[in-house]
Amino acid sequence: MSVPEHGWIRSRLRFAQWALTNEKSSGPPIHGTECVTCGETSQGADDWEGPQTWALRHAGQTGHTLFRGTVTSYFRASMLEVL
């Protein structure tokens, strides 16, 4: 496709309605904690217990006291209807 003299490229757009749903086939949500001071991270787990225990242990060993909690999950986008 060449760029016309006026610098615009035309394209055909299709409008559709999309929705997100939880993608369970990729596994359950993964919980984790990360030390904001040094970047060390806990192992991922199915709930908060392990990552929070790791954070408390890390605080006791290093004196680092600020942690970031993360939950990683997957979503699937599906087209509902072409508008």
Binding residues for Zn ion, rule: CB under 5 A, are: 35, 37-38, 40, 62, 64
Residue closer to Zn ion by CB (options 22, 62) is 62
Of residues 44, 43, 41, 35, the one with CA closest to residue 63: 35
Residue closer to Zn ion by CB (options 19, 56) is 56
- Closest approach, Cβ 50 to Zn ion, in A, equals 17
- Closest approach, Cβ 24 to Zn ion, in A, equals 33
- B/e letters for 26-56, b = 16+ CB within 10 Å, e = fewer, are eeebbbbbbbeeeeebbeebeeeebbbebbe
- Closest approach, Cβ 68 to Zn ion, in A, equals 11
Do 34 and 54 meet the contact criterion of CB atoms below 8 Å apart?
A: no
Residue closer to Zn ion by CB (options 35, 45) is 35
